[in-house]
């Protein structure tokens, strides 16, 4: 039996099943909430602002941890007392520690 030969009731039942399946999939995607958000520019700006804050905060924490790890590795290399490299790294570590004790660089003259 082809699609054209099926009784109209079976075709309508199959169509109803497909519509229900599509409806469930759209609910899973959150399409209604997304479209509602697009209709409200203030809400869209607010959510994007919060996402930007979260990204910035994450980058700041990540950079801080990365810088701490680099400084720790540099201090470890100084302990190994490698010639030339050890002296150069020791000078860098000393400058960074002095800046940290003084409260950071004085940017803008304030």
Q: Could you read off the pLDDT of 32-74 as tens digits, one per residue?
A: 777 887 888 898 899 999 999 999 999 999 999 999 998 888 7
pLDDT, mean over the chain: 82
- pLDDT value for 64: 95
CA 38 to the chain's CA centroid: 21
Which is higher by pLDDT, 67 or 26?
67
Q: How far apart are CA 110 and CA 80, in angstroms?
A: 40
**Residues 27, 28, 32, 35: is their CA dihedral positive or negative?**
negative
Q: What is the pTM of this model?
A: 0.46
- Find which of 6-10, 51-55, 96-100 is predicted with most confidence, using mean pLDDT: 51-55
């Amino acid at each position: 039996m082809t699609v054209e030969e099926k009784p109209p009731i079976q075709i309508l039942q199959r169509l109803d099943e497909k519509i229900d399946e599509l409806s469930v999939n759209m609910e899973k995607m959150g399409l209604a909430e997304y479209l509602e958000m697009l209709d409200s520019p203030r809400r869209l700006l607010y959510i994007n602002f919060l996402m930007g804050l979260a990204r910035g905060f994450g980058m700041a924490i990540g950079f801080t941890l990365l810088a701490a790890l680099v400084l720790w590795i540099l201090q470890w290399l100084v302990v190994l007392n490698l010639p030339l490299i050890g002296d150069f790294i020791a000078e860098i570590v000393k400058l960074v520690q002095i800046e940290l004790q003084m409260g950071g660089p004085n940017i803008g003259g304030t």
